[in-house]
Amino acid sequence: MKTVVLAGILAVAAAVVAAPQSAAKPRGSEPVYDFAQAVRETAWVDIGLDGDGDGRSDRVAADIIRPKEPAAQGKKVPVIMDASPYYSCCGRGNESELKTYDSAGRPVGFPLYYDNFFVPRGYAVVLVDLAGTNKSRGCTDIGGPSDIESARKVVDWLNGRANGYTTATGPARTNATWSTGAVGMIGKSYDGTVANGVAATGVEGLKTIVPIGAISSWYDYYRSDGANLRQGSPAGLAQTVSQRNGGQNCSAANRKLTAGATSNGDYNAFWLDRDYVQSASKVKASVLASHGLGDLNVKTINFGQWWEALNVERKIWLTQAGHVDPFDYRRSAWVDTLHKWFDHYLLGVDNGIEKTPGASVEREPDVWVDQPAWPAGSAVTLRPASGTTPGVGTLGSSPGTGTVSFTDSSGQSSNSWAARPTETSNGRVLFSTGALAKDLHVSGTAKVTVTATPSTSTARLSAILVDYGPATIRNYTGPKEGIKNELTQSCWGSSASGNDACYLNTSTDAVSVGLNIISRGWADLANHGSLSQESPLTPGQPYTMTFRLASTDHVVPQGHQLALIIGGTDGSFISGPAQYPKITVDLGKTSLALPVAGAGPSAVPAALPVAPAQIAPATVSGLERG
């Protein structure tokens, strides 16, 4: 039997109860309601769409757990909502929890700790099955109108603006008379993505969102500046999440997904429907976000572009880990922050959470620093120049001259390009700063401009930023992307039969390295003029293209070197061109816009490490891992 450690929840509860409170700052919510007696029920909400073409408007299932006492006293409660396609196929959280039901179909097991912790504190928790998944009707459309309406209409229902029913097909209505209408959406990965999308509609009643490792543009999940990322396909993901849902015919909906996600990598109306950044100006909800700087599933460009487009109260946590929930890398602090966040934005408690620093960043494993905001930097321009070794040069403020070349081919990867930085490589060119005279804080989204001449009519470009120097970092390419499961558990709230509050403890999975790839980016040179329309390339003609690298926040320490590597097809992440070219780079017309806090890099000439130890080869994992 596993040892259950109650210290976590007791410490949090004690902090809530014992903390001194002034008259101006009321106490936070406390666990005063009986979780075992909580109301557990399901409402089916009409979303006004017919995704499966059966002639009936689709209804989505919203499983609800709420404290019994407030309703009996005529009081209403706010709602914490997690809308997901994963409740019957793939599970939620580190332990892949699924929803469970009793013999009458009443919800019993609510994945994750939100219900255990918050229902006793006077919140309702509502877990919504996206259309076409678990108990909901219709078909999923991978971030499109069906997914977003699945959750937005539930917000409307909680505010008395949409129709809810007691069954999936019957006529009996049900109303959320117990709801204050104040809703906070939360979720990791796909779930947090839906929260972003619903917030981008500006729906009334949505007071806050907590997206964790979430997508802001599905184009930037499946594509990168014209290049196809190795992430599977929208139709494939739809089949994964709907495979346990019976009765609907979603073949037509899946054909639309295949037709819309064109193979050429162009940005089109399909992707626009799934690009929430374009509607960020409509967001009225506050945002508490978390993202892994080592997330190679939902690439960090997704939080970077979303964050810079928002104009609301917001706070972000950035960890060295990969696609990991903060509950599993900084548990006690996260639950405390989340508690205060929901208390403030859903209950109106004046606890000062909105005045805390805007960004919390993990600099080393389990070493966190606060900074006023993210990004902390503004762009400086660095330029590559040739050195004494062919294909290995310098990165500084002065423009280079002449050209350098490399030959693209299958089987190349960013890890192999970085492995021997002192050597000429047929597959890439490398430019480094020299040994930094002081720490260099890179914070934001870098862009690289490359003027390249291909030898064929198709070409891919890849660029990476590498921190060369010894360090200990989270093992973000490891089996659990920077964490390890322990044998003990800790409990975070109240338990009931079939629904316990206890979860495996985790610890840090760290690794010592001699280099760390801190940012990656990819592009199809055929999209040099427009992401919406690729243009055939003429062999021997130069093209200039600017493309983005992954958003980051990283300090390159004094004595380390920062390098820019430019190559062709990074096979770990993107698919190759029809014909692999030799690519010639014009150094005088190539540059890196690097976001840094303070001045740009100052450095002295220094030899690069011959073959530095590096983190294990990166792998791409599908979103269905959640």
- What are the residue numbers of the active site? 189, 295, 323
User: Where do the H-state alpha helices sit in 139-189?
Assistant: 145-158
Helices vs. strands in the chain: H and E counts, helices first? 12, 34
Omega within 30 of 0 (cis) for the link into 375: yes
Mutual orientation of helices 7-18 and 331-347 as an angle, nearest 10°?
40
Q: 176: which residues sit within 8 A by CB, 6+ positions away? A: 43, 157, 158, 159, 160, 164
Q: Which residue has the tokens 């050195």?
A: 387
| SS3 call for 594 | strand
CB atoms within 10 A of CB 471: 17
Give Cα 115 distance to the centre of its chain: 23
DSSP 189-204: THHHHHHHHHHTTT-T
CA dihedral 147, 150, 153, 159 (to 10 degrees): -120
Give Cα 159 distance to the centre of its chain: 28
The C-alpha atoms of residue 237 and residue 86 are separated, in whole angstroms, by: 11
- The residues with which 441 forms a beta bridge, in sequence order, are 555
The residue among 594, 353, 559, 367 whose CA lies nearest residue 467 is: 559
Instruction: For residue 148, give both structure tokens.
Output: 């977003």
The C-alpha atoms of residue 4 and residue 96 are separated, in whole angstroms, by: 19
Q: 295: which residues sit within 8 A by CB, 6+ positions away? A: 213, 321, 322, 323, 476, 481
Distances (CA, A) of 468 to 418, 429, 513, 561, 564: 9, 16, 9, 5, 11
DSSP 429-445: EEEE--EESS-EEEEE-
Residue 86 and residue 106 in contact, taking contact as beta carbons nearer than 8 Å: no
What Rg, from alpha-carbon coordinates, does the chain have? Answer: 25
The C-alpha atoms of residue 322 and residue 189 are separated, in whole angstroms, by: 12
Residue 557 and residue 260 in contact, taking contact as beta carbons nearer than 8 Å: no
